[in-house]
Structure 1
Amino acid sequence: MDVGREEALAGAIRESRHLIRGATAASLATSAEGQPFVSLVTPATAPDLSPLLWISTLSEHTRHLAAEPRCSLMVTGVADGPNPQTAPRITLTGLAEPVPAAEVVALKARWLARHPYAALYAEFADFSLWRIRPQAALYVGGFARALRLRLTEFAPDPVAVAAIAEAEPGILAHMNEDHPAACANIARVFCGGEAGAWRMVALDVDGCDLTDGNRTVRFAFSEAVSDVDDVHTVLVLAAREARLAL
């Protein structure tokens, strides 16, 4: 692979993962008897980057997925100017499946961390948690900038995913109990959040989510982390820069 292609691929992977992790809304494409159907959904992500959907059996798309799990999910960023085609976006193709009962509690907590307002209907009997297992993706970085990505290229390192997932509860507790001001400063300076009692509610190899009531923001790491030491370094630097900025 030439240097230019390698750099373009690395940038596409990084932005694709940031788009997926940071999405609060996305377009879900399903099909029923050969007829395509697109609906608005509110995703979160599992530690391994698989999109999570809390969806109702009353919805068309849920019935579609139960009959035909093949689907696609498109997440769109912010356009650079008046032309919508300049917006970065990522379209994932994959297979949807209900999350097994043994995983629901942990993964539902991750979904609610991104969508705290949904606690109002989180216990409704007709809702359940689904996961999309990505197979491939198409990244478009703007007008005439498209790059196809294989799963092996954009999926995070499973060893790093497991290490961060294991350390996540302790890191969240430490940040919220010992460094609440740092959480608030990071949310304000790096994520555009307003002043408030921000708490860190989820962590993965690509960044962390912070919540203040029904407001949630995403702090994306400039590079994926591999272990607890990496997380410590990133958060210490971010806290220092945010404090100085304020």
Structure 2
Amino acid sequence: MKKLVVLTGAGISAESGINTFRDADGLWEGHDIMEVASPQGFRNNPELVLDFYNQRRRQLFDVSPNEAHFNLKKLEDEYEVHIITQNVDDLHERAKSSHIIHLHGELLKAKSSISDDFICEWTKDINIGDKAKDGSQLRPYIVWFGEDVPMIPKAVEIVEQADIFVIIGTSMQVYPAASLINFIEEETPIYFIDPKPMVNKNAFNNLTIIKDVASLGTKKLLELLNVSNH
């Protein structure tokens, strides 16, 4: 069975009603990114950071996977599908995809604020005083700016084995995630699904651009790959 690797970004979850965080002016929900998505921001104002992610976590219980998430599951009828996502929601999981790597962490987990060794499932708010087993304040299990992306080596390993590479709903501006495209074999077919695709069509061999939102774009992908949409 051929291996199909998908890199997903905020655009695939937008149709479920999850905000893409970053506005046109670079702010995240009105906050400077470094205030709510950096270790320094957490040290300076942990209450603000915890509240920011508590709101994001609560929102997960009001949204559902959309057609794009379910279409990726349908691809498993014909392919070994691996999803590498920059998203911190659990919508791929809820759509029952089999192989998922979260590059930037997961909202439904918490971790120690002093060690990477303690990570736990967490579905409610994280409050000041909630402690990890090592006695430190719990923080969201989110990879913040300036922190290492521990799942990148595993993602690279999977991308190197891809027979088909699909990119959905990401600007390809956030590194190291955006660098993954450089690890595919030269002639590997690439499908880029985005309503405003920011990619040079001549930069890669075998590049097919599907200029559409994720739900409609993945429907077209199923047709192109001759996978049943039932």
Same fold (TM over 0.5): no
**TM-score, normalization: structure 2?**
0.26
**TM-score, normalization: structure 1?**
0.25
Which structure ranks higher in relative contact order (CA pairs < 8 Å, sequence separation ≥ 6)? 2
Higher strand share: 1
Higher helix share: 1
